[in-house]
Amino acid sequence: MIHAVTPLKQLSNGKRRLGGALSSAERVELIRTMSARVISVLASMHEIASVSVVTNDETLVPMNCARIEDPGSDLNAAAAHAGRILQSWGASSMLVIAADLPFVTAEDIRCLIAAGRTGAAVFAADSKGLGTNAILMSPPALFQPCFGEHSLAAHLAIARQMGVSARIVQRSGLARDIDEPEDLPYLIQQGGSRYSFLQPGFKRLTE
């Protein structure tokens, strides 16, 4: 079975690139809302054996999820730490998924899982085809992720160096993350009433 992990860093430091469009409080609420969506989708799937949040903030962990303590450095170290923990628990596969995917669906994740049946590592590409928004790896500590700019090519290079089979999945729900101010109009228009709190910030941006 697959064990899912969502890393969540300290909220006050999150989404800094949106600082010109949103206040600190709006950014915190955005992170909470998006992460709750991702975790809810994962928790609803029978294909997912467990959902863990890698964080030092217990308030970010729903009751039906486990908490893995954040080692305190960057996202990649947090994901690698989670992989080692899950592997020590006897998990055979780990799905690391970004918390800022407001449109992700269970079907998107099922496509990722299906690709994992023929690859030891599966990477979900971002909308530009450069970054990585999710990784499915078997076993969980197969390698240390390197999320960040141009991470998709870096992840593929790691897989080649290790001699493991790798697949790429391109799905809109896994690709559309929210990182830049230009991502906000689509989120406000398509995200529904749960994102109505963003409208004042977007108005400030466009004035």
Confidence of residue 205 (pLDDT cuts 50, 70, 90): low
Is the pLDDT at 47 greater than 60? The verdict is yes
State yes or no: pLDDT of 145 exceeds 60.
yes
Q: What would the CATH number be for the domain defined by 2-206? A: 3.90.550.10
What are the start-end ranges of the E strands in the chain?
2-7, 48-54, 66-68, 93-97, 121-125, 132-137, 166-169
Q: Where are the alpha helices (DSSP H) in 44-148?
A: 75-88, 106-115
- pLDDT at 199 (0 to 100): 73
Q: Structure tokens of 5?
A: 């992990």
In this predicted structure, what is the pLDDT of residue 102?
97
pLDDT of residue 201 exceeding 70, the answer is no
* pLDDT, tens digit, 9 for 90 and up, residues 73-87: 789 999 999 999 999
Encoded amino acid at 15, one letter? K
The span from the CA of 21 to the CA of 19, in Å, is 5
Write down the domain spans for the chain. 2-206
| Distance in angstroms (rounded) separating the CA atoms of residues 3 and 103 | 21
Q: CA-CA distance, 2 to 34, in Å (whole number)?
A: 22
What is the average pLDDT score of the chain?
A: 91
pLDDT digits over 147-181, tens only? Answer: 988 999 999 999 999 999 999 999 999 999 999 88
pLDDT digits (tens, 9 = 90+) for 50-108: 999 999 888 889 988 999 999 877 899 999 999 999 999 999 999 999 999 999 999 99
- The percentage of the chain sitting over the pLDDT mark of 90, rounded to a whole number, equals 71
Identify the residue whose tokens are 């970054």. 131
On the question of pLDDT at 124 being above 80, the answer is: yes
pLDDT score at 206 = 52
Give the list of residues 6+ apart from residue 179 with CB closer than 8 angstroms, or none: 15, 17, 18, 100
